[in-house]
Structure 1
Amino acid sequence: MKLERKHALVLIGIAVWNVVTYVTFIKNLAGTEGRPTGYYVAHTVLIIVNLVIAAVLGTWGYRAYKATRSTRVKV
């Protein structure tokens, strides 16, 4: 499958959005007290999984963007 530049930018945008929202979520989670341990474990797993997804999407987006850039330069 060939990704175009717009697809690469969407993947990068989604990755950035995930990082921004989950960093905010981490800050909010750190500010809570008195919750059961399961609450923190579940939300920590959720944060880790979504940050890994953001890393994968960002990597794919970067590679696709780089590939489209190299093919556009050739005339």
Structure 2
Amino acid sequence: MKLERKHALVLLGIAIWNVVTYVTFIKNLAATEGRPTGYYVAHTVLIVVNLLIAALLGTWGVRALKAARSSASASAGKVNA
């Protein structure tokens, strides 16, 4: 499957959105008091998993963007030749 530039941008956008929302979630979680330990454990697991997903999607987005750029430059070279 060939990913285009628009796909790469969507992946990067989702990754950035996940990071922004979960960093905010971390701040809000740190500000809470008086909750059971299970609450903090469950939400910490959610945060870690979602930040890992963001890292994976960001990696795929960067790779797709680089591949789209190299593909575009290769086809531009064919046109000029």
**TM-score normalised over the length of structure 1:** 0.98
Separation in 2, partners of 1:71, 1:50: 31
Residue ranges of structure 1 left out of the alignment (5+ in a row)? none
Separation in 2, partners of 1:65, 1:54: 16
Instruction: State the superposition RMSD in angstroms.
Output: 0.5
Partner in structure 2 of residue 61 of structure 1: 61
Question: Which consecutive segments of 4 or more residues in structure 1 shift more than 4 A?
Answer: none
Q: Deviations over 1:6-39 (max 9, x none)?
A: 0000000000000000000000000000000000
| Identical columns (%) | 81
- Higher-Rg structure is 2
Separation in 2, partners of 1:55, 1:42: 20
